[in-house]
Chain A
């Protein structure tokens, strides 16, 4: 049975908006031209493939189902996502406590009853260690699995290549074979080999992970024995939600107020400027802290209003997006106000006035389309900053719900582990890797997008 959480709905809305924008942009040359510049950049294309991989994980994790009574295990009746279903082995392979990556035994020694009945201090074998594999055969087993994974990845890649070539051949009315060859050899303005290369890398990594994961804890387990790879993958959704929804929820207000202030000037401008100066004068962290603390009090005093832990965490996530949005919409609003001030004196706006065109129509036809590039740049530019902010806020305990998987919570939980003897490094490393991948890809893409859309930088670059 489908369960639709607030953030699920909104995340899919973002996805739909993105698709809609794509169709809209494809039919307008002034939007198609900058996007063409983006697509022709190798960096941007590679970054986009990586981001797409993250997006697939995040979107799969945003279709929630209530597990039916036939499901077994401790999660019967729980709300789980499609991704959880796919990752069932990872989800249910819970160990007792820390285990290192690819370990067969727990990380810490415990006292167990030996075969002779005497207490024995040893590293107990993991509950979910692959059967019949011991330390001597482990390397071979891992290698065999890896080969299988590479094979899966390559098969998926071939399918991707074929589909892409078929689609392109159809659009260009070219032969399938010729198109497919061009895709790997290059020669088009769009660097297809880069796209296919990055896709191959992503798919092979995914294949290998898929081959290993049912048998090993690829990134180890955390203190309570949960698989770290699973946590890191589940955190992808949190990052994406924060990165996109925050900008989305503030967008209507920022656009409306920014344009209104710049277009009407006078007292409208004064009031709007007052509002955003006041809001931006409060240090962001403190405003978020205050708001989240208030939410916590509210939630702890009204426990009955939330029917499940998942819903409660989800609402808190949405609230966090909202409050993050409130602290960050002022920048966009100010930018839009400035641009509108410039646009309203443009000759074509004056010409519209000379025809007696109504204000609302002028805003919709002349102002809004000419400030949308600023909105787009803000959207892509803010994304990575927000993903990073989530980690910091969760570390200070004013971020997402502690029960929710997020990189910030992972770091928060693991920050003292480096000081342990022996050191536990894999939780931090996993959070680092997954975050770095997402943020780096987003930053590289946003660099190219900004250069393509910002008329100021367009001339400055080669």
Chain B
């Protein structure tokens, strides 16, 4: 290992009295990418902010040392620290949307950093150079634009350019791609890797995504409840994680191989920072925990070269212990059921754009533009696409929460789109929805019992109060929540528990179909596994059909039977999950799949690069919507939109370049 650029020893940080970072030791070598991996609330962002000495009000470093190239940062006076910040130590943040000043031109924002740390160069010239360096086309023009004129991926590039202005020795990237789509994430990660190679800077990548770590980092440390549990070279960790937490995280990932079985969910929740814990932080959730794990904090134990772990079990040679995952194939509905449960024909949702003196309609946002889907009872159809492709609108249009502007939604042969509000009411029982954000999906002013009972009351399904109460208790138990929860308010529950309650609410009216709108994307991996297991059990138990809206391919591989890929309001490819994921035909599907980071450093696939961003659905490109970004596009693609063809394999695809057969 070369000389470490950054050495952190025994760093402890408290915010408002609670200890969010507790005795963290880190080393980042010059030129390497070091990943700090952890679930939300584990203290990884606070660690980064402490290194920058940018802790929020009420936060302070209690003890420890932070040395950058041998210089102690925590002892520097504030004015000297300002020279380090943005200079030798750069940082980029998670939300590019809010992290740029909205009223200043991006060029000025970059030039400001350049002026501070590189006084010799002309700051405006530097801004243009830096924008070019982060791969923004036409930098001369872009420096004069404001942040709102740039897409999310471009904004993150601007943030990177700003951090590069000081020619940092170490770049801290705090969840740099979490807010971005997978194809854009791939672009940004590649950019960061290229820049690291060119400049020789070290990088500290803070993330919760095991796939991102496997693809971009050299070494990693796992953080849990303010402490580091394991640090290892990436290859060694993914081959054989030493800490039970690390093993369970890997086992909790949904994959195609784990289809039909249960994922290893980690029960319980991350302890809050103000809980006083004596022993190992993970002991309360660890299935292998022994008495002394709860009493005595574990020491570090070496595992291999550069690989060490903080676990009592390891000391006993307990590394043979592995996570048992009961793999029980559920019955699952067989395909080829009689009539489809739900079918859409040419479903359209267009939003008018009004302009001018009389507010005439001058155009339409084609959020959903002629979609044919069908879903059989008891099966799962995954609707996959990047943000803005119209998948959520499509889900809401199925339930008539947004009225379609064209096409038909046939539920067991009845066209829901043609029904009025009153006639629709009986069908409301049959189709339900679970939302993405479990924090916004429940009225904070209502008791959990009343929330779950809302459908019962609205549909007149419970005769009296006693029956209603019994039914609510039964539903809560079914989703794994104690029935006593009915008398409490939503804010008392964690994200995963709330999502369970939301599922119970949907189940109350005994639906046949549930639209799941990204139900796990706001949750941590370990909690996501709990919810996916629950959804899986409910399907096998109740014969529910799911329309599963997601951007996460691994969830699709684990849960879905059929998949439909959406791009700019239309389906580009549709088919059985195994077939589509194994051999994608449409160039967009191929690029999308290749952009997904695999949590396996051994399988480095060829990544297909997509240039640019998804165009606006208000103004889709002529011809094939995908042709401006498609590596295979030719003149014909720019001219005509390819028809949706059914191949002999049963696959449906819309591309001129896919041969029949």
Question: B51-81 CB contact bits vs A (8 Å, 1 = yes)?
Answer: 0000001100000000000000000000000
Closest to B421 in A: A356
Closest to A370 in B: B445
Q: For B424, what are the chain A residues with a Cβ–Cβ distance below 8 Å?
A: 356
State whether the Cβ of A348 lies closer than 8 Å to any Cβ in chain B: yes
State whether the Cβ of B635 lies closer than 8 Å to any Cβ in chain A: no
Query: Once the chains bind, are A354 and B428 in contact (CB under 8 Å)?
Result: yes
For this complex, into which size category does the number of interface residues on chain B fall? 20 to 34
Q: For B401, what are the chain A residues with a Cβ–Cβ distance below 8 Å?
A: 350, 353-354
Query: Once the chains bind, are B459 and A365 in contact (CB under 8 Å)?
Result: no
State whether the Cβ of A357 lies closer than 8 Å to any Cβ in chain B: yes
State whether the Cβ of B441 lies closer than 8 Å to any Cβ in chain A: yes
Q: For A181, what are the chain B residues with a Cβ–Cβ distance below 8 Å?
A: none
- In the complex, what distance in Å separates the CA atom of A249 from the CA atom of B424? 40
From A350, A356, A366, A462, B428 is in contact (CB under 8 Å) with A356
Q: For A462, what are the chain B residues with a Cβ–Cβ distance below 8 Å?
A: 57-58
Which A residues, 341 to 363, have Cβ-Cβ distances below 8 Å to chain B?
346-348, 350-358, 361
Q: For A357, what are the chain B residues with a Cβ–Cβ distance below 8 Å?
A: 454, 458
Query: Once the chains bind, are B428 and A365 in contact (CB under 8 Å)?
Result: no
State whether the Cβ of A369 lies closer than 8 Å to any Cβ in chain B: yes
Q: For B14, what are the chain A residues with a Cβ–Cβ distance below 8 Å?
A: none
Q: For B435, what are the chain A residues with a Cβ–Cβ distance below 8 Å?
A: 347, 350-351
Which B residues, 430 to 462, have Cβ-Cβ distances below 8 Å to chain A?
431-433, 435-437, 440-446, 451, 454-455, 458-459
Contact A347 B459, CB 8 Å, known A355-B428, A365-B446, A462-B58: no
State whether the Cβ of B505 lies closer than 8 Å to any Cβ in chain A: yes
Q: For B428, what are the chain A residues with a Cβ–Cβ distance below 8 Å?
A: 354-356
State whether the Cβ of A73 lies closer than 8 Å to any Cβ in chain B: no
Q: For A370, what are the chain B residues with a Cβ–Cβ distance below 8 Å?
A: 443-445
Closest to A460 in B: B57
Taking the closest CB of chain B, its distance from the CB of A371, in whole angstroms, is 10
Query: Once the chains bind, are A354 and B437 in contact (CB under 8 Å)?
Result: no
Taking the closest CB of chain B, its distance from the CB of A375, in whole angstroms, is 14
State whether the Cβ of A420 lies closer than 8 Å to any Cβ in chain B: no
Q: For B451, what are the chain A residues with a Cβ–Cβ distance below 8 Å?
A: 348
State whether the Cβ of B491 lies closer than 8 Å to any Cβ in chain A: yes
State whether the Cβ of A118 lies closer than 8 Å to any Cβ in chain B: no
State whether the Cβ of A172 lies closer than 8 Å to any Cβ in chain B: no
Q: For A347, what are the chain B residues with a Cβ–Cβ distance below 8 Å?
A: 435-437, 440-441
Which B residues, 455 to 510, have Cβ-Cβ distances below 8 Å to chain A?
455, 458-459, 489, 491, 502, 505-506, 509
Taking the closest CB of chain B, its distance from the CB of A273, in whole angstroms, is 15
Query: Once the chains bind, are A369 and B445 in contact (CB under 8 Å)?
Result: yes
Query: Once the chains bind, are B455 and A355 in contact (CB under 8 Å)?
Result: yes
State whether the Cβ of A283 lies closer than 8 Å to any Cβ in chain B: no
Q: For A366, what are the chain B residues with a Cβ–Cβ distance below 8 Å?
A: 443
Contact A350 B446, CB 8 Å, known A355-B459, A355-B509, A462-B58: no
From B58, B441, B458, B489, A348 is in contact (CB under 8 Å) with B441
- In the complex, what distance in Å separates the CA atom of A355 from the CA atom of B445? 19
Closest to B489 in A: A29
Query: Once the chains bind, are B454 and A355 in contact (CB under 8 Å)?
Result: yes
Which A residues, 317 to 368, have Cβ-Cβ distances below 8 Å to chain B?
346-348, 350-358, 361, 365-366
Query: Once the chains bind, are B445 and A351 in contact (CB under 8 Å)?
Result: no
Query: Once the chains bind, are A348 and B455 in contact (CB under 8 Å)?
Result: no
- In the complex, what distance in Å separates the CA atom of A354 from the CA atom of B431? 8
State whether the Cβ of B364 lies closer than 8 Å to any Cβ in chain A: no
Query: Once the chains bind, are A348 and B509 in contact (CB under 8 Å)?
Result: no
Taking the closest CB of chain B, its distance from the CB of A55, in whole angstroms, is 29
Taking the closest CB of chain B, its distance from the CB of A76, in whole angstroms, is 55
State whether the Cβ of A456 lies closer than 8 Å to any Cβ in chain B: no
Q: For B399, what are the chain A residues with a Cβ–Cβ distance below 8 Å?
A: 354
Taking the closest CB of chain B, its distance from the CB of A265, in whole angstroms, is 14
Taking the closest CB of chain B, its distance from the CB of A306, in whole angstroms, is 46
State whether the Cβ of B396 lies closer than 8 Å to any Cβ in chain A: yes
- In the complex, what distance in Å separates the CA atom of A347 from the CA atom of B454? 14
Q: For B437, what are the chain A residues with a Cβ–Cβ distance below 8 Å?
A: 347
From A29, A346, A358, B440 is in contact (CB under 8 Å) with A346
Query: Once the chains bind, are B433 and A351 in contact (CB under 8 Å)?
Result: yes
State whether the Cβ of B425 lies closer than 8 Å to any Cβ in chain A: yes
- In the complex, what distance in Å separates the CA atom of A357 from the CA atom of B509? 13
Closest to B425 in A: A356
Q: For B436, what are the chain A residues with a Cβ–Cβ distance below 8 Å?
A: 347
Residue among B401, B424, B440, B445 with max Cβ neighbours from chain A (10 Å): B445
Q: For A358, what are the chain B residues with a Cβ–Cβ distance below 8 Å?
A: 458
Contact A351 B441, CB 8 Å, known A356-B424, A357-B454, A462-B57: yes
- In the complex, what distance in Å separates the CA atom of A358 from the CA atom of B441? 18
Contact A348 B443, CB 8 Å, known A354-B399, A354-B428, A356-B425: yes
- In the complex, what distance in Å separates the CA atom of A347 from the CA atom of B440? 6
- In the complex, what distance in Å separates the CA atom of A350 from the CA atom of B432? 11
Q: For B425, what are the chain A residues with a Cβ–Cβ distance below 8 Å?
A: 356
Q: For B445, what are the chain A residues with a Cβ–Cβ distance below 8 Å?
A: 28, 30, 369-370
Query: Once the chains bind, are B458 and A356 in contact (CB under 8 Å)?
Result: yes
Query: Once the chains bind, are B458 and A352 in contact (CB under 8 Å)?
Result: yes
Contact A356 B505, CB 8 Å, known A30-B445, A30-B491, A365-B443: no
Contact A350 B454, CB 8 Å, known A29-B489, A355-B509: no
Q: For A361, what are the chain B residues with a Cβ–Cβ distance below 8 Å?
A: 458
Question: B395-408 CB contact bits vs A (8 Å, 1 = yes)?
Answer: 01001010000000
Query: Once the chains bind, are B440 and A348 in contact (CB under 8 Å)?
Result: yes
Taking the closest CB of chain B, its distance from the CB of A343, in whole angstroms, is 9
Query: Once the chains bind, are B459 and A351 in contact (CB under 8 Å)?
Result: no
Residue among A30, A350, A361 with max Cβ neighbours from chain B (10 Å): A350
Question: B371-403 CB contact bits vs A (8 Å, 1 = yes)?
Answer: 000000000000000000000000010010100
Taking the closest CB of chain B, its distance from the CB of A367, in whole angstroms, is 10
- In the complex, what distance in Å separates the CA atom of A370 from the CA atom of B440? 13
Q: For A346, what are the chain B residues with a Cβ–Cβ distance below 8 Å?
A: 440
Closest to A352 in B: B454
- CB-defined A-B contacts under 8 Å, sample of 9: A30-B444, A348-B441, A351-B502, A354-B399, A356-B459, A357-B454, A357-B458, A365-B446, A369-B445
For the complex of A and B, the 8 pairs showing the least CB-CB separation, nearest first, are A356-B428, A369-B445, A356-B425, A347-B441, A347-B435, A355-B458, A355-B455, A357-B458
**Beyond the given A351-B505, A355-B455, could you list 19 further A-B residue pairs with CB under 8 A, ordered by the A residue number?**
A30-B444, A347-B436, A348-B440, A348-B442, A351-B433, A351-B441, A354-B399, A354-B428, A354-B431, A354-B432, A355-B428, A356-B458, A356-B459, A358-B458, A361-B458, A366-B443, A369-B445, A369-B446, A370-B445
